């Protein structure tokens, strides 16, 4: 053995290298603090950083949704069923998420995982990087006393809506910092969010011609539109030292959403925030290491226990410990720590709020076949977005409690396999079922299907706040364990009546864009529209937007974390992934998680 | 002597941590190795990934990629093993290539590994020499029985077209079955393939490709049931046997694969309905399930990256690129633009 003495004491130990952990780590490393990041997944480098000159991310559709695997998890009702996952998503037989379809019907699901890899979910996501609107931060006060909220028979919206303990204005400088340091392209004009710190977007690339229908539809309906902010660099990015190809348009490929980027143009937290600091002596990164529990003495977490790539256990200490391994897994880690020490459990969860108010988004949309045909394999994830449905006027007109962002998807169905495997299905648990069962798609029938759909499918999506409910929660499952013998996360959630109504309204609005986009007069046929609650596994659907479960606030009896995302009864324990959110926001959450992480990083830099 | 490469420890650990490290004792992975619950592989995730067959980029020939980097891993955690070497047909069988300890933070992990470069489109057998004792790879699901009855571990590299799992008659029977599903038996499909294959320089391509209407899909199936979806090998063996029996009953005068096209159309419809006269349901209960499996594999094989064994010479993609064009004749599926040379034309992506 040639053991080298590696440090085991740090200023900050960060668990997770994605949107919640990497930004604050970036700030603290630059501030000279010693930082250790522990990451469960592997480090997959882009080509320009890999000593072999190739990346472990491939432009191969079987990397995004790989071969069939079979669930063999005991004590779930879908054991024996097939599932498909990306190469950086977990093996469900080793580490399933289990959700309750109904009492006595627990099912394993791939929903609710982002990615287990350095960079976390930002490696696979489509990169949509929207700010929340100012209203998203004050839904409690906005809805207080309202009598025009529809489909809220028990008054849960008014009872459960919460203001964030920080305002949009307080977060705005951090949005700007995140946009600059992460590397985002887009346009500001027509966004319903003030850019007081100035604009830092890189210019967007060309739109895919199919998006012209969305332009027409949004314009016809008077919806101010803007180029969807995307975490893909289009120019050389000075903060991270990344360079774009001679032709920046090369970034547009169908291998975007659910693919890691072998060129490193997609702004994962690894290539944008961590890799540039990799050689700093005060930055340590240990990947392929799974944290098993936190150990505390009184109000201080004094040990972080983890298993190394061979399964050997180690402990490290940090003056500050930050948990940021995606909301479900963060809640699970805190609960597992409480399972090992009842005093830890009492401190982290004195009011039974840990795991409660778990959130995802109300999402859905509409899709249509457009006239003509377009090369969707030359695209990014989205071209146009609108905040039309995020305004107070829209919200009040429809009796809603909150608004939404609406944008088109450009890269969906861009490649032959993605077209086939999502035929009749849109969710991760049922891919391929539609194609395999639709026996009409054979020979001439398959040719007609390809003629009718390939390069002709256009969809518009909405992303909206879900009503926070205490009974929507993350627990530890009573009998299902992971490959280390630890209880897995158990997700119990359902949609509120107002969620269903809200999704119906927004699905119709999305459909209208396509109706008007197709012919300018609103008569173009739309093939389908609706909210996610309509799908077969609607209770499981999470869209990889994993939020809540450890919300922050100003009242320790109503929240798990304080305004700085510190656990109320701990001196040095912070949670900075999406778990901190008391409401989900009317947009994709990653940029807000990143901005908040920068905010907490500044707080910690002052504190340490 | 074939030189061994030693990649970084992290490269090997990126696979070991997820797929090998664990404490569970439940056999949750039997489907992947089609093995008994007592077999260690029944507790290993995705054991088909070993040995690791990865892309290799040759700086001297950046526009060509003719080899794979094949990494062998031996898990010696908890064992008292002094030396492990690998020997196989990818080098001289007299050559022992030692596996080196893989370290994490300077400490030996118990994993041993080495890497060699192996040309694409090949299949090889190998074994470990564990303290000089010949040993099958305890992780890899692929094994081959030699003419002398000895069993060796096996792997194949990208684009391999050597039959591995299916017998000749099974290949022949799957040809019309898969061709019926795909669009290449249509008038436009047939015309395209004829012109596409005629344009190719067959000498440069090599002789192992089968120029058929299923664009290599049967080869894709042969490879996917050898490795990633080994659990479906039994489906193919039994269902194809029953299909052969049914066709023999209906067309006694010819080989099943040579039955008229209408016979396969009829059979396809019956498989889809689940009602196949002459089918032995006691041997395979759900013919519709087999058809659904075949449909997924067929479509995937036709349109996935050619490294996976189908979509031979990118004919599936080329068909779409040729069929879908704008008014100026420009393709509306420019698949080459994003992919590595020499398959594609991307100046940046290396595969």
For residue range B50-102, list pLDDT tens digits in order. Answer: 999 999 988 787 777 899 999 999 999 999 999 999 999 999 989 999 999 99
B82 and B149 within one domain: yes
Residue B187 covered by a domain: yes
Q: Show which of residues 267-296 on chain B sit within 8 Å of chain A, judged by CB atoms.
A: 268, 272, 291-293, 295-296
Residue B13 covered by a domain: yes
Q: Does B74 touch chain A (CB under 8 A)?
A: no
Higher pLDDT, A520 or B54: B54
Judge: B186–A52 Cβ closer than 8 Å, yes or no.
Answer: no
For residue range A592-602, list pLDDT tens digits in order. Answer: 999 999 999 99
Low-confidence ranges of chain B (pLDDT < 50): 208
For residue B85, give the H/E element and its range.
Answer: strand B84-88
Q: Does B236 touch chain A (CB under 8 A)?
A: no
Residue spans of alpha helices (H) in A371-490: 392-397, 416-421, 433-437, 444-453
* Residue A532, min C-alpha distance to chain B (Å): 25
B73 and B48 within one domain: yes
- Across all residues in chain B, what is the average pLDDT? 93
Number of domains in chain B: 2
Separation of CA B152 from chain center = 18
Q: Does B129 touch chain A (CB under 8 A)?
A: no
Which of B110, B127, B156 is the last residue in one of the domains? B156
Which of B98, B124, B156 is the last residue in one of the domains? B156
| Whether the Cβ atoms of residue B6 and residue A51 lie closer than 8 Å to each other | no
Q: What is the pLDDT of residue B34?
A: 63
Say whether pLDDT at A2 is over 50. Answer: no
B84 and B22 within one domain: yes
CA distances from B47 to A60, A230, B89 (A): 20, 37, 22
Mutation target to probe the A interface, by most A beta carbons within 10 A, among B10, B11, B18 is B18
B196 and B149 within one domain: no
Judge: B349–A60 Cβ closer than 8 Å, yes or no.
Answer: no
- Across all residues in chain A, what is the average pLDDT? 95
Q: What is the pLDDT of residue A539?
A: 76
Which of the four pLDDT bands, split at 50, 70 and 90, describes residue A542?
confident
Mutation target to probe the B interface, by most B beta carbons within 10 A, among A47, A63, A65, A67 is A67
Which of B102, B133, B156 is the last residue in one of the domains? B156
- Residue A63: Cβ within 10 Å count: 18
Residue B38 covered by a domain: yes
Strand partners, A307: A290, A313
Q: A253: Cβ–Cβ under 8 A, 6 or more apart, which residues?
A: A59, A377, A378, A379, B337, B338
Which of A228, A220, A170 lies closest to A201 in space, CA to CA? A228
| Whether the Cβ atoms of residue A48 and residue A298 lie closer than 8 Å to each other | no
**Dihedral angle computed from the Cα positions of residues B199, B203, B205 and B206, in that order, rounded to the nearest 10 degrees:** 140
Residue A56 covered by a domain: no
Q: Does B101 touch chain A (CB under 8 A)?
A: no
Which residue in the set B108, B189, B324 is minimally distant from A373, CB to CB? B324
For residue range A177-186, list pLDDT tens digits in order. Answer: 999 999 999 9
Which DSSP category does A71 fall into? -
B208 and B275 within one domain: yes
Residue B162 covered by a domain: no
Which residue in the set A67, A94, A455 is minimally distant from B22, CB to CB? A94
Which of B127, B198, B178, B194 lies closest to B303 in space, CA to CA? B178
For residue range A460-506, list pLDDT tens digits in order. Answer: 999 999 999 999 999 999 999 999 999 999 999 999 999 999 999 99
- Give DSSP secondary structure letters for A206-245: PPPGGGHHHHHHHHHTT--EEEPPBSB-SS-BTTTTB---
CA-based nearest residue in chain B for residue A79: B28
CA distances from A404 to A230, A401, A480, B72 (A): 17, 10, 36, 50
Above 0.85 for ipTM, yes or no?
A: yes
CA-based nearest residue in chain B for residue A89: B18
B183 and B137 within one domain: no
* Residue-number span of the structural domain to which A524 is assigned: 10-50+63-414+455-607
B177 and B79 within one domain: no
Say whether pLDDT at A115 is over 90. Answer: yes
Which of the four pLDDT bands, split at 50, 70 and 90, describes residue A296?
very high
CA distance B162 to B112: 30
Which DSSP category does B96 fall into? -
Q: Show which of residues 160-189 on chain B sit within 8 Å of chain A, judged by CB atoms.
A: 180-183, 185-186, 188-189
B103 and B36 within one domain: yes
Residue A324 covered by a domain: yes
Chain A with chain B: Cβ pairs closer than 8 A: 230
Q: What pairing do the DSSP bridges indicate for beta strands A573-575 and A313-323?
A: parallel
Q: A442: Cβ–Cβ under 8 A, 6 or more apart, which residues?
A: B180, B181, B268, B295
Domain of B80, CATH number, reads 2.60.40.10
Q: What is the pLDDT of residue A426?
A: 63
Residue A81 covered by a domain: yes
Residue A354 covered by a domain: yes
Domain of A213, CATH number, reads 3.50.50.60
Residue A383 covered by a domain: yes
Q: What is the pLDDT of residue B210?
A: 58
Residue spans of alpha helices (H) in B97-136: none
Q: B20: Cβ–Cβ under 8 A, 6 or more apart, which residues?
A: B44, B45, B73, B75, B111, B139
For residue A177, give the H/E element and its range.
Answer: helix A168-178
B182 and B147 within one domain: no
Q: Give me B86's structure tokens.
A: 């690998």
For residue B316, give the H/E element and its range.
Answer: helix B315-323
Cis status of the peptide bond prior to B171, with omega within 30 of 0: no
Which of the four pLDDT bands, split at 50, 70 and 90, describes residue A312?
very high
Higher pLDDT, A526 or B201: A526
B205 and B56 within one domain: no
For residue range A165-210, list pLDDT tens digits in order. Answer: 999 999 999 999 999 999 999 999 999 999 999 989 999 999 999 9
Chain B positions touching A375 (Cβ under 8 A) are 331-334
Percent of chain A's residues with pLDDT above 70: 99
* Residue-number span of the structural domain to which B306 is assigned: 168-338
Which of the four pLDDT bands, split at 50, 70 and 90, describes residue A434?
very high
Residue A387 covered by a domain: yes
Which residue in the set B104, B180, B232 is minimally distant from A309, CB to CB? B104
* Residue B111, min C-alpha distance to chain A (Å): 8
Residue A428 covered by a domain: no
CA distance A596 to A427: 29
| Whether the Cβ atoms of residue A67 and residue A505 lie closer than 8 Å to each other | no
Q: What is the pLDDT of residue A3?
A: 47
B80 and B108 within one domain: yes
Residue A388 covered by a domain: yes
Q: Give me B95's structure tokens.
A: 């050559």
Chain A positions touching B107 (Cβ under 8 A) are 1-4
Residue B217 covered by a domain: yes
B134 and B105 within one domain: yes
Number of domains in chain A: 1
């Amino acid at each position: 053995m040639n053991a080298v003495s590696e440090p085991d004491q740090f200023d900050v130990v960060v668990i997770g290298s994605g949107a919640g952990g990497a930004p604050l780590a970036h700030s603290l490393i630059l501030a000279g603090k010693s930082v250790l990041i522990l990451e469960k997944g592997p480090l997959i480098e882009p080509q320009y950083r890999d000593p072999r000159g190739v990346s472990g991310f491939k432009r191969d559709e079987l990397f995004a949704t790989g071969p069939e695997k079979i669930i063999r998890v005991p004590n779930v009702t879908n054991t024996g069923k097939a599932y498909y996952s990306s190469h950086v998503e977990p093996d469900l037989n080793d580490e399933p998420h289990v959700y309750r379809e109904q009492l006595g019907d627990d099912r394993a699901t791939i929903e609710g995982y982002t990615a287990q890899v350095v960079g976390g979910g930002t490696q696979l996501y489509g990169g949509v990087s929207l700010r929340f609107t100012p209203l998203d931060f004050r839904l409690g006060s906005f809805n207080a006393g309202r009598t025009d909220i529809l489909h809220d028979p028990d008054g849960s919206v008014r009872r459960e809506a919460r203001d964030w303990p920080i305002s949009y204005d307080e977060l705005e400088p951090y949005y700007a910092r995140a946009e600059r340091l992460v590397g985002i392209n887009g346009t500001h004009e027509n966004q319903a969010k003030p850019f007081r710190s100035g604009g830092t977007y890189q210019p967007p690339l060309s739109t895919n011609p199919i998006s012209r229908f969305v332009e027409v539809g949004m314009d016809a309906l008077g919806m101010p539109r803007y180029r969807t902010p995307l975490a893909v660099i289009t120019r050389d990015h000075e903060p991270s030292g990344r360079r774009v190809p001679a032709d920046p348009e090369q970034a547009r490929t169908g291998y975007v959403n659910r693919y890691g980027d072998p060129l490193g143009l997609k702004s994962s937290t690894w290539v944008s925030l961590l890799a540039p600091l990799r050689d700093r002596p005060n930055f340590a990164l240990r990947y392929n290491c799974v944290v098993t529990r936190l150990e505390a003495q009184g109000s201080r977490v004094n040990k972080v226990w983890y298993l190394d790539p061979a399964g050997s256990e180690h402990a490290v200490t940090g003056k500050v410990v930050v948990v940021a391994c995606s909301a479900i897994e963060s809640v699970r880690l805190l609960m597992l720590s409480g399972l090992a020490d009842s005093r830890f459990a009492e401190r982290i969860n004195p009011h039974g709020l840990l795991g409660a108010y778990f959130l995802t988004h109300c999402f859905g949309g509409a899709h249509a076949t457009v006239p003509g045909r377009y090369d969707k394999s030359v695209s990014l994830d989205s071209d146009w977005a609108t905040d039309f449905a995020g305004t107070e006027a829209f919200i009040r007109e429809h009796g809603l409690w909150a608004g939404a962002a609406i944008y088109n998807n450009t890269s969906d169905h861009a490649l032959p396999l993605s077209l086939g495997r999502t035929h009749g299905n849109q969710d991760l648990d049922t891919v391929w079922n539609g194609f395999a069962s639709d026996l009409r798609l054979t020979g001439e029938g398959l040719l007609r299907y390809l003629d009718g759909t390939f390069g002709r499918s256009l969809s518009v999506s909405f992303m909206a706040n879900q009503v926070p409910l205490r009974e929507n929660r993350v627990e530890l499952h009573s009998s299902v364990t992971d490959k280390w013998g630890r209880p897995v996360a158990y997700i119990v959630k359902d949609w509120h009546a107002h969620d269903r109504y809200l999704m119906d309204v927004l699905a119709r609005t999305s459909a209208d864009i396509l109706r008007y986009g197709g012919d300018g007069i609103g008569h173009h046929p739309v093939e389908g529209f609706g909210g996610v609650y309509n799908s077969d596994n609607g209770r499981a659907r999470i869209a990889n937007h994993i939020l809540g479960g450890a919300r922050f606030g100003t009242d320790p009896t109503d929240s798990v974390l304080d305004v700085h995302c510190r656990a109320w009864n701990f001196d040095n324990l912070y949670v900075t992934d999406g778990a901190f959110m008391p409401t989900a926001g009317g947009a994709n959450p990653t940029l807000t998680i990143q901005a908040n992480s920068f905010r907490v990083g500044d707080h910690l830099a002052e504190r340490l | 002597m074939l030189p061994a490469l030693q990649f970084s420890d992290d490269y090997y650990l990126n696979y070991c941590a997820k797929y090998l490290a664990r404490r569970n004792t439940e056999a949750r992975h039997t489907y992947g190795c089609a093995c008994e619950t007592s077999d260690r592989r029944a507790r290993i995730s995705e054991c088909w990934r070993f040995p690791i067959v990865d892309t290799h980029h040759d700086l001297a020939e950046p526009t060509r990629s003719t080899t794979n980097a094949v990494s062998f891993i031996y898990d010696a955690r908890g064992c008292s093993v002094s030396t492990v070497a690998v020997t196989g047909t990818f080098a001289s069988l007299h050559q022992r290539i030692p596996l080196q300890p893989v370290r994490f933070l300077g400490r030996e992990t118990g994993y041993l590994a080495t890497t060699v470069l192996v040309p694409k489109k090949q299949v090889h057998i190998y074994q470990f020499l564990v303290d000089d004792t010949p040993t099958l790879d305890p992780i890899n699901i692929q094994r081959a029985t030699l003419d002398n009855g000895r069993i060796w571990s096996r792997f194949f590299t990208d684009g391999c077209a050597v039959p591995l799992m299916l017998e000749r008659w099974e290949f022949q029977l799957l040809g019309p079955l898969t061709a019926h599903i795909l669009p290449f038996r249509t008038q436009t499909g047939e015309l395209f393939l004829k012109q596409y294959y005629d344009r190719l320089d067959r000498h440069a391509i090599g002789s192992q490709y089968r120029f058929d209407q299923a664009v290599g899909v049967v080869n894709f199936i042969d490879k996917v049931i050898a490795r990633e979806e080994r659990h479906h090998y039994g489906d193919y063996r039994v269902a194809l046997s029953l299909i052969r029996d049914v066709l023999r009953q209906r067309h006694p005068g010819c080989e099943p694969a040579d039955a008229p096209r209408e016979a396969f159309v009829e059979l396809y419809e019956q498989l889809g309905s689940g009602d196949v006269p002459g089918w032995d349901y006691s041997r395979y209960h759900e013919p519709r399930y087999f058809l659904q499996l075949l449909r997924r594999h067929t479509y995937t094989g036709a349109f996935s990256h050619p490294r996976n064994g189908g979509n031979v010479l990118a004919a599936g993609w080329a068909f779409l690129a040729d069929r879908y064009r704008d008014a100026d004749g420009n393709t509306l599926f420019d698949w080459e633009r994003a992919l590595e040379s020499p398959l594609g034309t991307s100046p940046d992506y290396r595969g």
